[in-house]
A and B are shown apart, each in its own frame.
Chain A
Amino acid sequence: MDAISVADLVVDRGRRRVLHGLTLGVPAGQVTGLLGPSGSGKTTLMRALVGVQILRSGEVTVLGEPAGSPALRSRVGYVTQVPGVYADLTVRENARYFESLYGMSAREADAAIADVGLADAVGQLVRDLSGGQQGRVSLACALVGAPEVLVLDEPTVGLDPVLRVELWSRFHDLAAAGTTLIVSSHVMDEAGRCDRLLLLRDGELLADSTPERLRVDGRSDDLEKAFLNLVRAREEVAV
Chain B
Amino acid sequence: MTVTTIQRTPATHLSPRLTAATTRRVLRQLRHDHRTIAMMLVLPSLLLGLLYLLWKDLPTLPGQPGIFDRVGLTMLGIFPFVVMFLVTSIAMLRERTSGTLERLLTTPLARLDLLLGYGLAFGLAAALQAVVTVTIATTVYDLDVTGSVYLVVLIAVADAVLGVALGLLASAFARTEFQAVQFMPVIVLPQFFLCGLLVPVDQMAGWLQAISSVLPLTYAVEALQEVGRSATATGTMWIDIGVVAGAALLALALAAATLRRRTS
**Chain A: residues with CB nearer than 8 A to chain B?**
1, 3, 12-14, 28-29, 47, 50-54, 68, 70-74, 76, 78, 80-90, 93, 97-98, 100-103, 125, 141, 145-146, 148, 177-178, 180
Contact = CB atoms under 8 A, between A and B. Distances in A.
Given A80-B102, A101-B21, A73 B262 contact: no
Given A54-B264, A73-B107, A84 B102 contact: yes
Interface of B: 1-6, 8-12, 17-18, 21-22, 24-25, 28-29, 32-33, 98-100, 102-109, 261-264
Contacts of B107: 73-74, 98, 101-102, 145
B262 A29 contact: no
20 contacts: A12-B264, A14-B264, A47-B102, A51-B262, A52-B102, A73-B108, A74-B8, A80-B99, A85-B100, A88-B33, A89-B32, A97-B21, A97-B24, A101-B109, A102-B107, A102-B108, A103-B108, A148-B5, A178-B4, A180-B3
Contacts of A101: 18, 21, 104, 107-109
B1 A29 contact: yes
Given A73-B106, A93-B25, A83 B8 contact: no
Contacts of B109: 101
A103 B8 contact: yes
B11 to A, nearest CB: 7
Given A86-B100, A98-B107, A101-B21, A68 B29 contact: no
B1 A83 contact: no
Contact of A68 (B25, B103, B261): B261
A84 B5 CA distance: 26
Contacts, number: 111
B12 A13 contact: no
A168 to B, nearest CB: 21
Nearest to B264: A54
A179 B11 CA distance: 22
Nearest to B100: A84
Nearest to B12: A70
B94 to A, nearest CB: 9
A89 B28 contact: yes
A50 B106 contact: yes
B264 A103 contact: no
Contacts of A73: 10, 12, 106-108
Q: Which 7 A-B pairs have the closest CB atoms?
A: A70-B12, A84-B99, A84-B103, A100-B21, A82-B99, A178-B3, A97-B25
Given A74-B8, A86-B100, A52 B262 contact: yes
B262 A1 contact: no
Nearest to A28: B3
A73 B108 CA distance: 5
A175 to B, nearest CB: 11
Contacts of B29: 86, 88-89
Contacts of A1: 1
A73 B18 CA distance: 14
A85 B12 CA distance: 21
Given A88-B29, A98-B107, A102-B108, A148 B264 contact: no
A51 B261 contact: yes
Nearest to A13: B264
Given A50-B106, A86-B25, A89-B28, 5 more contacts: A52-B102, A85-B100, A89-B29, A93-B28, A101-B108
Nearest to B28: A93
Contacts of A71: 10
Contacts of A68: 106, 261-262
B261 A52 contact: yes
A178 B1 CA distance: 8
A86 B30 CA distance: 12
B98 A87 contact: yes
A106 to B, nearest CB: 12
Contact of B32 (A47, A51, A125): A125
A101 to B, nearest CB: 5
A116 B107 CA distance: 21
